[in-house]
Chain A
Amino acid sequence: MSKQIQVSGLDAYYGSHKAIEDVSMTIEPRSITAFIGPSGCGKSTFLRTLNRMHEVIPGARVEGKVLLDGEDLYAPTVEPVSVRRMIGMVFQRPNPFPTMSIYENVAAGLRLNGRVSKSEMDGIVEESLKGANLWNEVKDRLNKPGAGLSGGQQQRLCIARAIAVRPQVLLMDEPCSALDPISTLAIEDLMAKLKDQYTIVIVTHNMQQAARVSDRTAFFNLAEQGKPGKVVEMDETSRMFTNPSQKATEDYITGRFG
């Protein structure tokens, strides 16, 4: 189920503005990779190039290669829609569909891909909600609107929605930044559990979080204000946080800037 991502020489633009430059990295399957760095350094932009969500913004484009188990996501024959089907995404703010029930929210992605029988759908919805550690809290009110849940529950609902379509990769863009500490802990537990099945990539502002949950960490930074963002360093998380090879990484991690 889980796949490796290889990025080489990737540039991303908003119109004529170059947001990130020459990013190359390998993201391993069945592990959690964290992106850290100061605001505006392009880590979220980079994350969105991995499932071709970047180009949703008018004027935005990408140059370079992103390979999913060797297959180029930006090849001319590949449709963005099918890329996103394989690479799920969880956003900064929980965004369940306000007009849909909890059940419909989880089923939303599945309904796109042809007919699924009612019993099969019930099974997948239950499995996904269990996978997102939400089942016990909502099993009695599956037909209530998803917007009625707490922020943390809504975010787990969004994770359930993303994993219901069985993606190969799960991208998480600061998934805890809008949540309280207890909900954050619940999501972090969930990530640890999900990494057995998925390639997980998470953007976070929270250094402790990166240290707690991730296996590998990439540090993004701007060369200077107005220049595009770059990957300064990428390594095992344990090594990165104890013995970084770059001065800038150390400064950032120890809180000297950012």
Chain B
Amino acid sequence: MTTNVRTREGGPVKHRSASRRSHGEAPFRIVSTAAGILLLAIMAAIAVFLISEALPALRANEADFFTERTWNPNSERVFGIAALAFGTVFSSALALVIATPIAIGVALFISHYAPRRLAAPLGYLIDLLAAVPSVVYGLWGVAFLVPLLRTPSQWLNEHLGWFPLFAGEGIIGGKTMLAGAIVLAIMILPIIAAISREVFLQAPKMNEEAALALGATRWEMIKMAVLPFGRPGVISAAMLGLGRAMGETIAVALIFPATFDITFEILTPHANSIAANIANGFGEANDIGRGALIASGLVLFVITLLVNMGARMIINRRKEYARAGA
């Protein structure tokens, strides 16, 4: 992303008007600083209020929040995050496995394969994928993708059923983990592709030329001079994509059938996630139910925060590395 190429030149200039006091100076500085601090405060407030509003429900819970699979906070006061957290991580991991190779291919296409003239407009086309609202993907998933996947799902189950992901009895196809993961993959693809594209374009031209001068083919040149250079960037892009997938709500809320079990079967209608459960359960939740949903939101917040912070740290380290190498 362009934010990664911030330069030092644009840095602040030392204020040297000590002798020229101006009436507006202090208030302006204070307002600017306050805005920045407000941002930090919002982040802190999110954690604080999610915790404080979740606590009553967690106290009323008669099951262990972290190991319980079912979610019945409204009637029985029994609820746990286990199945939902599993579904969140599993669906996002699947989406990542689907999206990352395609995103790397797209990024390479834009940076090293497409004709110069077409590269920018084609890149914009991929960015458009990110502009489609989540709820539209959900609608598309339910109306188009779910029916489309039915026959291939049955084929996979019949012929490759020994493979745990494709196993399962009873209904095959429909609103499955696979359908949700594919929709998630489409949604996170543009962000992974955009960041990867930027780091691939930053790969030093002189190293690419060195590889070509050694008699490398285009692919060998990319393997020698582009991919190793871009690896940290691609990894953090994938992590950002993972964070995005885990927090994605409405599309999967429409697709996932809201079951509460832990299974690796991606072709049977068993799938759910924390975010989908919040969207589907909020409307009919009572006080305890809402507290329980807030508690699950807190878990989601913490997981995505960790993933995002990890990704940002990799990016920041790479920035220093790139600067030192320049």
Touching in the complex, A and B, CB below 8 A? yes
Contacts A93-B206, A98-B325, A99-B229; A108 near B215 (Cβ below 8 A) = no
**Contact among A58, A98, A147, A165 with B214 in the assembled complex (CB-CB below 8 Å):** A165
Task: Please report the C-alpha to C-alpha distance between residue A112 and residue B210 in the assembled complex, in whole angstroms.
Answer: 13
Interface contact tally, CB-CB below 8 A? 66
**Contact among B206, B217, B220, B228 with A95 in the assembled complex (CB-CB below 8 Å):** B206
Contact present for A81 and B215 (CB under 8 Å): yes
Residues of B contacting A58 in the complex (Cβ-Cβ under 8 angstroms): 116
Contact present for A112 and B215 (CB under 8 Å): yes
Q: Is A246 an interface residue (CB 8 A)?
A: no
Residues of A contacting B116 in the complex (Cβ-Cβ under 8 angstroms): 58
Contact present for B211 and A89 (CB under 8 Å): no
Residues of A contacting B214 in the complex (Cβ-Cβ under 8 angstroms): 84-85, 88, 108-109, 112, 161-162, 165
Q: Bits for B193-217, please: 1 = Cβ < 8 Å to A, else 0.
A: 0000000000010110111111111
Contact present for B209 and A91 (CB under 8 Å): yes
Contact present for A97 and B215 (CB under 8 Å): no
Contact present for A95 and B325 (CB under 8 Å): no
Q: Is B97 an interface residue (CB 8 A)?
A: no
- CB B154 to nearest CB in A, in angstroms, measures 44
Q: Is B224 an interface residue (CB 8 A)?
A: yes
Task: Please report the C-alpha to C-alpha distance between residue A97 and residue B214 in the assembled complex, in whole angstroms.
Answer: 12
Task: Please report the C-alpha to C-alpha distance between residue A162 and residue B104 in the assembled complex, in whole angstroms.
Answer: 30
Number of interface residues of A (CB under 8 A): 29
Contact present for A108 and B217 (CB under 8 Å): no
Task: Please report the C-alpha to C-alpha distance between residue A84 and residue B209 in the assembled complex, in whole angstroms.
Answer: 11
Residues of A contacting B220 in the complex (Cβ-Cβ under 8 angstroms): 112
Q: Is B107 an interface residue (CB 8 A)?
A: no
Contacts A95-B207, A112-B220, A147-B325; A162 near B213 (Cβ below 8 A) = yes
- CB A153 to nearest CB in B, in angstroms, measures 16
Contact present for A97 and B210 (CB under 8 Å): yes
- CB B110 to nearest CB in A, in angstroms, measures 14
Task: Please report the C-alpha to C-alpha distance between residue A58 and residue B112 in the assembled complex, in whole angstroms.
Answer: 11
Q: Is A53 an interface residue (CB 8 A)?
A: yes
Residues of B contacting A109 in the complex (Cβ-Cβ under 8 angstroms): 214-216
- CB B90 to nearest CB in A, in angstroms, measures 33
Interface residues of A in 81-105 (CB under 8 A from B): 81-86, 88-89, 91, 93, 95-100
Q: Is B188 an interface residue (CB 8 A)?
A: no
- CB B138 to nearest CB in A, in angstroms, measures 41
Residues of B contacting A82 in the complex (Cβ-Cβ under 8 angstroms): 215
Question: In the complex, which of the residues A95, A96, A108, A147 has the most CB atoms of chain B within 10 Å of its own CB atom?
Answer: A95
Q: Bits for A58-91, please: 1 = Cβ < 8 Å to B, else 0.
A: 1000000000000000000000011111101101
- CB A174 to nearest CB in B, in angstroms, measures 13
- CB B156 to nearest CB in A, in angstroms, measures 37
Residues of A contacting B204 in the complex (Cβ-Cβ under 8 angstroms): 95, 98
Contacts A99-B229, A108-B224; A56 near B209 (Cβ below 8 A) = yes
Contact present for B215 and A165 (CB under 8 Å): yes
Q: Is A51 an interface residue (CB 8 A)?
A: yes
Task: Please report the C-alpha to C-alpha distance between residue A108 and residue B215 in the assembled complex, in whole angstroms.
Answer: 10
Q: Is A201 an interface residue (CB 8 A)?
A: no
Q: Please give me the residue from chain A that is nearest to B210 by CB atom.
A: A95
Task: Please report the C-alpha to C-alpha distance between residue A109 and residue B225 in the assembled complex, in whole angstroms.
Answer: 12
Contact present for B211 and A99 (CB under 8 Å): no
- CB B117 to nearest CB in A, in angstroms, measures 9
Task: Please report the C-alpha to C-alpha distance between residue A161 and residue B214 in the assembled complex, in whole angstroms.
Answer: 8
Task: Please report the C-alpha to C-alpha distance between residue A99 and residue B228 in the assembled complex, in whole angstroms.
Answer: 6
Contact present for A89 and B215 (CB under 8 Å): no
Q: Please give me the residue from chain B that is nearest to A58 by CB atom.
A: B116
Contact present for B210 and A91 (CB under 8 Å): yes
Task: Please report the C-alpha to C-alpha distance between residue A88 and residue B216 in the assembled complex, in whole angstroms.
Answer: 12
Q: Is A158 an interface residue (CB 8 A)?
A: yes
Contact present for B209 and A53 (CB under 8 Å): yes
Residues of A contacting B209 in the complex (Cβ-Cβ under 8 angstroms): 53, 56, 91, 95
- CB B13 to nearest CB in A, in angstroms, measures 32
Task: Please report the C-alpha to C-alpha distance between residue A113 and residue B325 in the assembled complex, in whole angstroms.
Answer: 29
Contact present for B212 and A53 (CB under 8 Å): yes
Name the 4 nearest CB pairs between A and B, nearest first. Answer: A85-B215, A99-B228, A109-B214, A89-B213
Q: 27 A-B residue contacts at CB 8 Å?
A: A51-B213, A53-B212, A53-B213, A56-B212, A81-B217, A84-B216, A85-B214, A85-B215, A88-B213, A88-B214, A89-B213, A95-B210, A97-B207, A97-B211, A97-B225, A98-B207, A99-B228, A100-B228, A108-B224, A109-B214, A112-B214, A112-B216, A112-B220, A161-B214, A162-B214, A165-B214, A165-B215
